[in-house]
Structure 1
Amino acid sequence: MSLISPACRDALQLWLEGLTALAGRSENTINAYRGDVSDFLSFMTLHHSERQGLAALERITVSDMRAWMAHQRESGVGARSLARKLSAVKSFYRWLAEREGFEPTAVLSTRAPKYTKKLPRPLAEDAARAMIETVELQSGSDWVAARDVAVVTLLYGCGLRISEALSLTGADAPLPNTLRIVGKGNKERIVPVIPAARQAVDRYMELCPHPQSPTAPLFRGVRGKALSPRAIQGVMAKARMQLGLPATATPHAMRHSFATHLLSAGGDLRAIQELLGHASLSTTQAYTAVDTARLMEVYNRAHPKA
């Protein structure tokens, strides 16, 4: 950030602190925003051959934005990544314009490059079950095997994100009939806990050698510290190789599978949206890989008739 003026650096930090405190953004998101906006400000410094103070940022033009985007593409940044970077820059500019009282039209009117969204690939029902069974075989330690099964069962059986499963503490066990989950943006939702998930966690707790306490992480690593997502990613990578599944068979794919299989069994799309914690129904539609015919079937069944 040495190319960025002190005033811009301070403004960026203030904006990020606000996102952390008020919007509840995750540490990974904050770090990504910091990098994206810092790179943008550094480019503008080099582009204009002078540090860009707050006053200079108010004079950013459409031509400047095109130059930045062209530089990103020439540097090998893909359309999807560039769209993400532009989104971060626009978010920062909205905040800055409101704070400093200027018109950010040149930045906010910049169009993101078009790209094809990659739809999630859920596992087939038999593959999801086989994944849970095969995960158990990856460790020579009974308690570690039980731990891995418990985590993956929560992903598939309750539709949790891996970060949500690993954020559970001793106070959450034994698992109740429903869990209150705090997801992205500090959005709370109530998730039913199926018996298989409750039983898997109970077995893990019986075998876990580390003492449990209400404030300690429920799932532990071998040395007793909080379990890392990489451990579950790694064990699933081994299992999918044994099963001949594609690289898309990740922890997050188990959550996709939960939603898709629930919808296939006749679940209501709106209810699944609530279970997943999605703000938009369109996100749930893409998430469940639902086809148009299935969507219309749900719509016709749920829509009030005149």
Structure 2
Amino acid sequence: MNAPPVGRFGDGAAEPAAAQAHSTAVMKIATFNINGVGARLPRLLEWLEEAAPDIACLQELKAPTERFPEAELKALGYGAVWHGQKSWNGVAILSRGDTPVERTRALPGDPDDAHSRYIEAEAKGLVIGCLYLPNGNPAPGPKFEYKLAWFERLRAHAAGLLKSGAPTVLAGDFNVMPTELDVYAPERWGDDALFRPEVREAYARLVAQGWTDALRELHPGERIYTFWDYFRNAFTRNAGLRIDHLLLSPDLAPRLRAAGVDREARAKEKPSDHAPTWIELDL
């Protein structure tokens, strides 16, 4: 099967570049699992120039804190806070024209958890939580139990964020396909940690607190993917998964004006296996 045209939405529909389209009255927020900030730095810088998000959340830096490309990002006008980890994990929040104010760099609830999977900051009047939820495979097993426990910690923290009343976005790689619409062949994924009932239920409980899944809110019936494996020509066949999400607190949901996926980033040379996922909020 031929791949759909490369565009900004999951169905391939083209849209003008955000750098040309969005005005000062609109804020663009994106999440991008970069899959190695060292190896993908040219792709990251290229995308930042083209898409010009106001805020960008990155996951899977796969680099220690001291190897984060702060100078290169600053040259493009982005300030950043980040939490690195050698070879694994790692998260960052970028803000165009200023520097985010860090609130925490660990998800509360387990002081012994050394994984760099969560960072939270204030940026442009919002609270931004950037997360990289555990994969959890093989399931069942210790990694799967860690994933479910991490989800519960996230849910507890998210409830506190809602209670605070601060306008909040939770963005990142959640490693969950919430519904069958979010996976190219659901019948093949029943035992996978990204699609098992326990994980989908955990995501549903999180959203039920009052969060809005922004991409699905604006595209309720479309097959839109954010990840395509490197193997078996997954991108060419459009055999993808939607695992990168942006959740909005109730006060931000009415401001949601656009949401999409920059599929063309996945078609570049030596890309991440994820594509940037973004929203635009009316200010």
Question: What's the TM-score, normalizing by structure 1?
Answer: 0.20
Q: Pick the structure with greater CA Rg.
A: 1
| Structure with the higher strand share, 1 or 2 | 2
- Greater relative contact order, per chain length (Cα 8 Å cut-off, separation 6+): 2
Bigger share in helix = 1
